[in-house]
Chains A and B, each alone.
Chain A
């Protein structure tokens, strides 16, 4: 067992974990944050994507011990004081989800993309989301949602 200390969605946690425990399972089974989904065993699908110190990572590829001292954000931490993040609003308005299973990963990956590139093109979004698989939407409405969220976030930033 290894002791780790990390912040998840703004809450500080300390825990003893097995060295082999993946971050995804730690979040789901130890912290009860089941919004992070597990869709594969080869780090292919991206359903488990979270933010680690602001960068999107597949939490099935990271060990919980690697998150020691880090700041983790999951889908449960996206909304602030009950107000949805612009990416959540955009996925809703543009029908960027159907069954919703890939959605947490898509949202977190999209937030990661927009933090690095606030004004991406359609093609840039498609390539940046290459590691996140969706079987329902054909991706078009996901791309449209990310474009809309980018615009929303840019105009909010300009206004503030």
Chain B
């Protein structure tokens, strides 16, 4: 139906919900195929060991077992090792990473053999019977021990555990520091985090042996990228592969990868000629799915006596884990342009060294490098404020980049559009800042058991990955474009085929809003197809808060092309020139002759019959568009966390959490708010609760949801949200990404709040997660120091 109704910015409800609310979602775990066999992996219990031999006899004879394969048995299946797509330097050390280990294991969870059985239970039972002769070797699990003299080496062929060192400099940093009145140097750590998408990973592969075809259903964020890399790894012609990401139950970066289990199920389907299936257990996923963060950071700020920053130096050590997964080495570098945050200055230097350890590989986890950078600069600017005696709000105001377009940051990039002070002012107003400071002073004066802390984070982040040329200059292995095809069917519905691959972000709804407005059809008449490489041949998928700013814009632009063609066809049928037509609400009308009109759907039908088309026009009303953005988008905002700290127990409770974000123009306010809620929750989780811990021998101590605290509703505060709107100039819709902003902004706001709440005791340090024990100990130490 042609309609003048506008949907972008409005409150439509999600189209994704009906199947998900009634148990009709199609998750990989639920796919069953005739003749399907079940795969389970035997995994190393040791952080480091040589494999002297594997006896698979008992496992092979177990009930229901069809086959057992070791790494050596599968060696001939691979055209290449597991892919790593971001060799960040020329001299980076890239160890071979075989899906099933051959001669040695390098982390707890490294696969050593694979069992194929008639049922999943039989396969899992038989895994226990795989007898591996391990020669246990010393392990290194943390960055500092891995770099100590004489440390055990994760990969014997390299003479140290360093993987690479990447540096980036803009301006004369030494000169900036030489003329500074104040220099502060801060040290922070980023705990290792387990992403914990609630859907465990899973894969099902269906071979068609006579045709040589394979269909892979995977819990992936990146079906199109996976198709290319499955082909290269398994040596299967790309055109013979179809990859489907059906409903995917959350990703947060953990499903932005090419995993051993996926490619192993693929080659087993080829070898055995039957469908294969693997579903991760949660605890299995804790060792076999990438982790996030795990950095040691040093940041220095050089400033004048008023606290105006002149220069920045940031130096980080990043734990790679035992191997390099898809973008392991590049992940910390995504923060490499953000250690100066939303602030100005003359010069900037960043360096990062990646370090191998005997742990599960790290990779992109929500925010990927940017939460780490934002944490460092947002804590450091508070430290600078303390050093020059300036309030956290005022020190930020003094250093903000100016309002404008293409604003040069000291990091060397031009930020699309900035208006930081307006945003901060709005947050301070909503907060009632002065009253909170008065209450804090009052509680301090009477020695209240529950002290008040107020923490700010005025973040900026870079997302919407990205201009392909820029990614190329960083040695990233893929482009940053995305694609859309839009066609109006002869019966009037608009089909939108997108290259994004949503897993909770609501693209079907938002893309419907975009297309409905651009085409002048109703929201209900737009159908969005995604996540299947045979349906949507072109795509770069969903990560890095890129989908709306790249793939959504591609939909918008493809719709524009459809309207252009429709205008020519309408002009032909109405016997006027195209420029004589107005297009409004899905209807072309001859200017000044309102009774002469035709709807875009009537045009689509005429284009399908093709009985009378203008000369040179092809039948059908369809258009394809690939959008390669000219710049990243740089959303920003102010997050404020008010904590109440129990001085007797060390318990931190979030009394208020205020987020004022600016992601440019908003397509669906409810979805944007939901992204902020979830993002903030993951940042709060990192600040207060979550930490993956390894024992010295490489055992993951936080081995399940029982001892790794994923917060529940009881741990989360009520979020107060608002927005300012500064449209981006990186795309014609003026939109910026919002998927990761909450996570990027929130952890420093929480920790700054805890430090602020204890500042009357002289506390300036706090490490994540700020557990009751850690906070209590800090209070005791501070009191002891004061006594």
Let me know if B250 and A126 touch, CB within 8 A: no
Q: How far is the CB of B128 from chain A (nearest CB, A)?
A: 15
Measured CB to CB, the nearest residue on chain A to B119 is A29
B92 → chain A, closest Cβ, in Å? 32
Do residues B250 and A143 form an inter-chain contact, with CB atoms below 8 A?
no
Give the chain A neighbours of B22 by CB distance below 8 A: 35, 75-76, 78-79, 84, 88
B505 proximal to A (CB < 8 A)? yes
**Number of inter-chain CB pairs below 8 Å:** 176
User: Is A118 positioned at the interface, with any CB of B under 8 Å from its CB?
Assistant: no
Q: Are B198 and A41 in contact (CB under 8 A)?
A: no
The answer to whether the Cβ of B653 comes within 8 Å of any Cβ in the partner chain is no
A107 CA to B252 CA in the complex, in Å? 23
Q: Which of B14, B27, B504, B677 is close to A140, meaning CB atoms less than 8 Å apart? A: B677
Determine if A104 is an interface residue (Cβ-Cβ < 8 Å).
yes
For the complex, give the distance between the alpha carbons of A4 and B693 in Å.
43
- Determine the residue in chain B with the shortest Cβ distance to A29: B32
The answer on a CB contact under 8 Å between B718 and A99 is no
Contact between A41 and B716, CB atoms less than 8 A apart: no
Known interface pairs A37-B27, A102-B198. Does A139 touch B681 (Cβ–Cβ under 8 Å)? yes
Shortest CB-to-CB span from A85 to chain B, Å, is: 9
Binds B, one of A51-59, A63-71, A90-98, A148-156: A90-98
Within 8 A of A (CB), among B695-714: 704-706, 710, 712-714
Within 8 Å by CB of B25, from A40, A41, A100, A135, lies A100
The CA-CA distance from A33 to B680 in the complex, in Å, is 34
**A99 adjacent to B23 (CB under 8 Å):** no
Chain B residue numbers with a CB within 8 Å of A104 are 23
By CB atoms of chain A within 10 A, which of B506, B677, B678, B713 has the most? Answer: B713
> In the complex, which residues of chain B have a beta carbon less than 8 angstroms from the beta carbon of A35?
22-25
Q: Does B199 contact A34, Cβ atoms closer than 8 Å?
A: no
CA–CA, A42 and B671, complex, Å? 31
Evaluate contact between A41 and B283: CB separation under 8 angstroms.
Answer: yes
Q: Is B257 at the interface (CB under 8 A from chain A)?
A: no
Tell me if A28 counts as interface (CB < 8 A to partner B): yes
Indicate if B89 sits at the interface (CB-CB under 8 A): no
Check A88 against B21 for contact (C-beta < 8 Å). yes
Q: How many residues of A are in contact with the other chain, CB < 8 A?
A: 53
On chain B, the residues within 8 Å of A126 by CB distance are 712-714, 716
Establish whether residues A135 and B250, one from each chain, have CB atoms under 8 Å apart when the complex forms: yes
CB of B17 within 8 A of CB of A39, answer no
Please, which residue of chain A has its CB at the minimum distance from the CB of B670? A95
A142 within 8 A of B: yes
Question: A138 interface residue, CB < 8 Å from B?
Answer: yes
Contact indicator A138/B16 (Cβ below 8 Å): no
A89 to B506, CA, bound (A): 17
How long is the Cα–Cα vector from A84 to B19 in the complex, in angstroms?
12
The 8 Å CB contact of A98, one of B24, B504, B710, B716, is: B504
Q: Are B198 and A137 in contact (CB-based, < 8 A)?
A: no
Nearest-CB residue, chain B, relative to A107: B21
- Chain B: which residue is nearest A38 at the CB level? B29
Contacts of B196 in A (CB 8 A): 133, 135
Q: Specify which of B25, B29, B248, B681 is in contact with A138 (CB 8 Å cutoff).
A: B681
Query: Which residue in A28, A97, A130 is a CB contact (below 8 Å) of B17?
Result: A97
Determine if B13 and A98 form an interchain contact, defined as CB atoms under 8 angstroms apart.
no
Say yes or no for B503: interface residue by CB 8 A criterion. yes
Contact of A125 among B14, B678, B713 (CB under 8 A): B713
Contact B704 A100 (CB under 8 A): no
**In the bound complex, do residue B710 and residue A133 qualify as a contact, i.e. CB atoms below 8 Å apart?**
yes
Interface residues of B (CB under 8 A from A): 13-14, 16-25, 27, 29-30, 196-200, 247-250, 252, 281-283, 503-506, 670-671, 673-674, 677-682, 704-706, 710, 712-714, 716, 718-719
> Would you mind naming 28 contact pairs between A and B with Cβ atoms under 8 Å apart?
A34-B29, A35-B25, A37-B249, A41-B281, A42-B282, A42-B283, A44-B705, A45-B198, A79-B22, A91-B17, A92-B17, A95-B13, A95-B674, A98-B505, A99-B198, A100-B20, A100-B21, A101-B249, A103-B20, A127-B713, A129-B712, A135-B678, A137-B681, A138-B716, A138-B719, A139-B677, A141-B674, A143-B713
